[in-house]
Amino acid sequence: MAGNPGPKRSGLVTRIIRILTMTMLALAISFGVVLALYRFVPAPSTLMLGRWLTFREVNRDWVPLEQISPHLVRAVIASEDQRFCSHAGVDWGELNAVLQDEDGPSRGASTLTMQTAKNLFLWPGRSYLRKALELPVALSIDLAWPKQRIIEVYLNVAEWGEGVFGAEAAAQLYFGKPAAKLTPAEAARLAGALPNPILRNPARPNRGLQAAAGRVQRRMQQLGPLGDCALPRRSAAALPDFRPDALARARASV
């Protein structure tokens, strides 16, 4: 007479659930440890790790936020996430607008925090799975780090060319100067190149990049003090170039 398989099957399901629970707990603890570590040490992006693992060159020179031009800080906020200083990692209003778009999600709704989450912990490319993971990671980052640290990490891992990561490497490559010395026009070009950094060269901007840089500078003017939450105090106090007359001169040089 065959035995009752019920208890064995129930025991197997219990073990599987226990294993999955322990795995999820271990992942959560590991994420928390890495998140705390990245709050203080230079963080690599997953793209950088991938290049190192495949023996490809990585050009990145980590610099603290104080050594990055405040114009670039404001330029990326104006270009990528104008409500960066007011949301908690996810711009729910913009995300809802994208999801409600009758023509489908034709544009992104990624905040700078969400892009930082993707760069540090996830993978490139579009997928609903990655976006679903991006949201809780971004919320965790915003909870654990101040806005200045988020921008500091973002500007040190953003890709600005083949194997070129971070503001310092980009400033040296394209303009032959440190990131601290970037002008508003140069910062706007770098920010305008971010949506397609492989094909857009800030040193030799094509018509598309020139138009993007012009839009960035107009948004920088409209942003006003709303972008100052990510600036060190000394940098925020030293921004005379954001007067309307100075911005007009800077836009003319793009």
Structural domain boundaries of the chain? 14-43, 44-82+145-252
Whole-number Å distance between alpha carbons of 159 and 47: 9
Share of the chain above pLDDT 90, in %: 65
What is the pLDDT at residue 244? 42
Residue 185's pLDDT is 95
pLDDT of residue 102: 54
Q: Provide the pLDDT for residue 98.
A: 73
- What is the identity of the amino acid at 47? L
117-146, pLDDT tens digit by residue?
A: 999 999 887 888 888 999 999 999 999 999
Q: What's the pLDDT at 11?
A: 75
**Rounded distance, CA 115 to CA 195, Å?**
11
The model carries a pTM of 0.85
Determine the Cα–Cα distance for residues 254 and 209; give it in Å rounded to an integer.
10
pLDDT tens per residue, range 43-56? 999 999 999 999 99
CB 209 within 8 A of CB 127: no
Q: Which two tokens stand for residue 253?
A: 């040089």
Q: Where does the pLDDT of residue 162 fall: very low under 50, low under 70, confident under 90, or very high at 90 and above? A: very high
- Digit-coded pLDDT (tens) for 228-243: 889 987 655 555 544 4
pLDDT band at 249 (very low <50, low <70, confident <90, very high): very low
Work out the average pLDDT over 51-62: 95
**What pLDDT was estimated at residue 248?**
45
Query: C-alpha angle 147/66/234, rounded to 5°?
Result: 85
Please determine, for residue 107, whether its predicted confidence score (pLDDT) is greater than 60: no
All residues at 6 or more sequence positions from 91 whose CB lies less than 8 Å from its CB, including other chains: 81, 83, 109, 111
Q: State which of 17-21, 24-28, 56-60, 103-107 shows the largest mean pLDDT.
A: 56-60
Cα 105 from Cα 196, distance rounded (Å): 19
* Poorest-pLDDT segment among 76-80, 177-181, 238-242: 238-242
Enter the CATH code of domain 44-82+145-252: 1.10.3810.10
As beta bridge partners, residue 164 has 59
